[in-house]
Amino acid sequence: MDTLDISIEDPRWEILDLSALVTRAVTATLNYLALDPDTAEVSLLGCDDARIAGLNADFRGKPTPTNILSWPSEERAAMSPGSKPLPPEPGPDGLTVLGDIAIAYDTCAAEAAAAGKPIADHVTHLIVHGTLHLLGYDHETEPDAALMEGLERKILGNLGLDDPYR
């Protein structure tokens, strides 16, 4: 996947090889949805809790840390609860700009430890989750959550990872 722009602000992400995890998770998500990973553009920021708390305050009015945030490049929401969003359209250059993701090391590490799972598995799940948000999926209603969680289970299963909702 050549169109993945990763910025790492927190050096702990380097130890985890965030670039490899992101490439694997985004590619698996796009392939599962029959979208070409080589033409999709995603930017990702690997940061800490302080940085993501600032972003969460600025963009969502919630001045607290969170595990992951995503900003789709355009509105792609489904027309009705529980239905799939329309696939993104490529631009004139052939690239499909999906959007931006930020992920916080501290929160991810704490959540993985609390769940007794490897941080790499948890981060992979969150990147799949964030990528689905970029594609217009959400979990605001019960039918939407069921659709999104079902996709996450299938994509993670294809990667050999356990069901994160079990």
Q: Which range is least confidently modeled, 82-91, 94-103, 141-150?
A: 82-91
Q: Can you count the helices (H) and strands (E) in the chain?
A: 6, 4
What's the pLDDT at 166? 85
Question: Average pLDDT of 91-99?
Answer: 92
What is the fold of 4-158?
Answer: Collagenase (Catalytic Domain) (3.40.390)
Q: Is the pLDDT of residue 122 over 70?
A: yes
Q: Cite the annotated binding site by residue number.
A: 129, 133, 139
Q: How confident is the model at residue 2 (pLDDT cuts 50, 70, 90)?
A: low
d(Cα 32, Cα 26) in Å, to the nearest integer?
10
- Where do the structural domains in the chain lie, given as residue ranges? 4-158
Give phi and psi for 11, each to the nearest 5: -60, -15
Q: How confident is the model at residue 1 (pLDDT cuts 50, 70, 90)?
A: low
Whole-model pTM? 0.95
Question: Average pLDDT of 72-78?
Answer: 90
Cα diameter, the chain: 46
Q: Is the pLDDT of residue 137 over 90?
A: yes
* Residues 6 or more apart in contact with residue 132 via CB below 8 angstroms: 29, 148, 151, 152
d(Cα 37, Cα 23) in Å, to the nearest integer?
9
Question: Average pLDDT of 138-142?
Answer: 93
Q: Which range is least confidently modeled, 6-10, 24-28, 55-59, 80-84?
A: 80-84
Of the candidates 51, 47, 68, 49, the residue with the CA atom closest to the CA atom of residue 131: 68
Q: Cite the annotated binding site for Zn(2+) by residue number.
A: 129, 133, 139
Structure tokens at 131: 């990528």
Q: Is the pLDDT of residue 53 over 80?
A: yes
Residue-averaged pLDDT of the chain? 95
Q: How far is CA 79 from CA 76, 117, 150, in A?
A: 9, 36, 19
Please name the helix (run of DSSP H) or strand (run of DSSP E) that holds residue 69, with its range, or none: strand 68-72
